[in-house]
A = this chain, B = another copy of it.
Amino acid sequence: MEPVSINEKNHNNEGILLSEEEQEKRKKKEELWAKKKYICQVKLIDIKTGKNIVVLNEEEAEENDIYNGYRIMLRHDGNELVSLVDLSTEMVKRGEIGIFRDVADKLDAKDGELLHIRHMEKPASIDFIKKKLDGESLTSKQMSTIIHELMKNRLSEGVLASFIAAVYTRGIGEDETVALTEAIVDSGEKLDLGVGPVADKHCIGGVAGNRTTMVVVPIIAASGIYMPKTSSRAITSAAGTSDTMEVLADVDFNIPELKEIVLKSKGAMVWGGATNIATADDKLIKLRHPLSLDPRGMLLASILAKKSAVGAKYAVIDIPIGRGAKILDMPMAETLGGDFINIGKRMGMTIESLITDGAEPVGNGIGCGLECRDVMHVLQGKGPDDLRNKSTLIAGRILELVGKVPEGHGRDMSELLLSNGGAWGKMKEIIELQGGNPNVKEDDLPIGQYKHTIKAERSGKISHIDNKGVNKIARAAGAPRDKGAGIYLHRLKGDKVKHGDVLFDIFAESETKLDFAIKAVDVWQPVELEKFLLGTMR
């Protein structure tokens, strides 16, 4: 949204004569200006907001059919700029326009000068979103137009929320999902390694401590397959892969930097947000947030776009199911898993969907530093068993998918790469390339100095450990921002405990946060012992 000089009618900014088509475009633009505009006097608000925002008088704007959150086109001398509208009853009077420093600079407009205002042409997306609300299918072009206008900041929050609601209530078909995926890929940068094979993995999420990525990537890279893994940060959980990897190394890299790392080590674990891949997806996720809407087609597009953007041709999708997981039962998981395979195929990817037991946390540590310790133990050929087993399962399937080993041999190969030090060596290589200390020791990991132990209040067998409760307590203790905050589970599901046995420790970096976490234990009671009497009536 840089200003465009329109002083020279048939020439561009460098004085070069425009093509007839360009001249026609410019003429149409001038007609738009002639048709509908009003003029306001600048009231400069000398603050930088980092956004193109103007404040209009509410009454006057609405008379001109301009509402809160609309986009309008501004013109001053030869400069044009799209701006977001905020309305005010007091701040600006009729005939005035409040502009912040950012807009003033871009338009070169000074206090008291005049600005021309006109409506933006109605975004084409409006009609397409209406069509989707009416239950019709969108063409690829229509779907990509919506994502394009989203990226150009041309759609208001309300219009975008309507789009999410439309996809949620009406669903999108296979063609529409492919179009959405491709549009999301095109919205951001892409990684083109120029070599292969490139593999990837993804977990639908919801399982505490589930840090398989940090085990899988070193195994796969050690086997000679490229795995440029981008991950997210925690939103509602105690730690995301990026938050956890950050304990050992930097995770903020742009695409050229990522390429350099991966061409050297074959593997990388970076934060997707810094790479600018699939940028439309970040916006879509924020839009889905308030109502926690997660329309299946968008979930598919979101995940597969990130795989496609890094050039992956093979991917394993981990779909945890069970009590407290995002996907509740086998039929739902099978439908979703099948969709991944179909849409993946359309995107040129070979995909395997793994449906896993997601009812309990994986590993003993929950929280960045503690999860990192589990990962390090596994990479060094030790436990925790569940993290190790799940990781070698996933890595094994990737090896088979790519054809690196025959069917049925992937897991053994993965175990070998753990036990022979290959994976740990590769991890150290990746840590160093990502700016960390490759000689990191277990004692270097941040573990909160404030600790509280939760003990069993009676004897019995642990029947369930609740992912959500565990996450809430770890977050109350400071995770994921405090790298040393979290929970260490000393006993897992199926273990028999006696009254007074340690169930788990809470770690925090401050006493206050430790107190918050202790209070959260009362609320969430994450460890359940087997009960035989479930209720009584008389």
* Residues of A in contact with B (beta carbons under 8 Å apart): 35, 45, 47-51, 55, 58, 63, 65, 67-69, 88-91, 98, 102, 126, 129-130, 133, 135, 156-162, 164-166, 168-170, 235, 286-287, 289-293, 481, 516
Q: Is the beta-carbon distance between A292 and B88 smaller than 8 angstroms?
A: no
* Selected A-B contacts with CB under 8 Å, 21 pairs: A45-B47, A48-B90, A49-B90, A50-B58, A50-B90, A51-B88, A67-B289, A68-B157, A69-B157, A90-B102, A126-B290, A130-B291, A133-B169, A133-B293, A158-B160, A159-B161, A161-B165, A162-B162, A162-B165, A162-B291, A165-B165
The distance from the CB of A110 to the nearest CB of chain B, in whole angstroms, is: 18
| Complex A-B, nearest 3 residue pairs according to Cβ-Cβ distance, in ascending order | A165-B165, A158-B161, A50-B90
Residue of B nearest to A31 (CB): B519
For A133, list chain B residues within 8 Å (CB): 165, 168-169, 291, 293
- Given A63-B481, A168-B133, decide whether A159 and B45 contact each other with a Cβ distance below 8 A: no
- Contact B158 A169, beta carbon cutoff 8 Å: no
A168 to chain B: which residues have CB within 8 Å?
A: 133
**What copy number does this chain have within its complex?**
2
CA distance A164 to B291 in the complex (A): 14
A157 to B287 Cα, complex, angstroms = 11
Of residues A69, A169, A286, A290, which shows the largest number of chain B Cβ atoms within 10 Å of its Cβ?
A290
User: Which of B48, B162, B293, B481 meets A91, CB within 8 Å?
Assistant: B48
- Which of the listed residues A45, A88, A481 has the most CB atoms from chain B within 10 Å of its own CB? A88
Closest to A135 in B: B169
Given the known interface contacts A51-B88, A166-B165, the answer about A130 and B68 at a Cβ–Cβ threshold of 8 Å is no
Extra contacts, 17 of them, besides A130-B291, A156-B157 (Cβ < 8 A), are A35-B516, A45-B47, A48-B90, A49-B55, A49-B88, A50-B91, A67-B286, A68-B157, A129-B291, A130-B293, A157-B157, A158-B290, A159-B161, A161-B162, A162-B165, A162-B293, A165-B165
In the assembled complex, which residues on chain B have CB atoms less than 8 Å from the CB atom of A157? 68-69, 156-158, 161
CB pair A130 B292 closer than 8 Å: yes
Nearest residue, chain B, Cβ from A286: B67
In the assembled complex, the Cα of A130 lies from the Cα of B91 at a distance in Å of 36
Q: Tell whether, in the assembled complex, residue B156 and residue A165 are in contact, meaning their CB atoms are under 8 Å apart.
A: no
Indicate the member of A63, A89, A133, A170 with the most B CB atoms within 10 Å: A133
> For A129, what are the chain B residues with a Cβ–Cβ distance below 8 Å?
291
Q: Indicate if the CB atoms of B159 and A290 lie closer than 8 Å.
A: yes
With a CB–CB cut-off of 8 A, which chain B residues contact A102? 90
Query: Are B67 and A290 in contact (CB-based, < 8 A)?
Result: yes
Q: How far is the CB of A273 from chain B (nearest CB, A)?
A: 11
With CB as the reference atom, state the residue of chain B lying closest to A43.
B47
Q: Collect the chain B residues with CB atoms within 8 Å of residue A166's CB.
A: 165, 169
Q: How far in angstroms is the closest Cβ of chain B from A160?
A: 7
Q: How far is the CA of A169 from the CA of B49 in the complex (A)?
A: 37
Once the chains are docked, how many angstroms separate the CA of A51 from the CA of B68? 13
Q: How far is the CB of A24 from chain B (nearest CB, A)?
A: 18
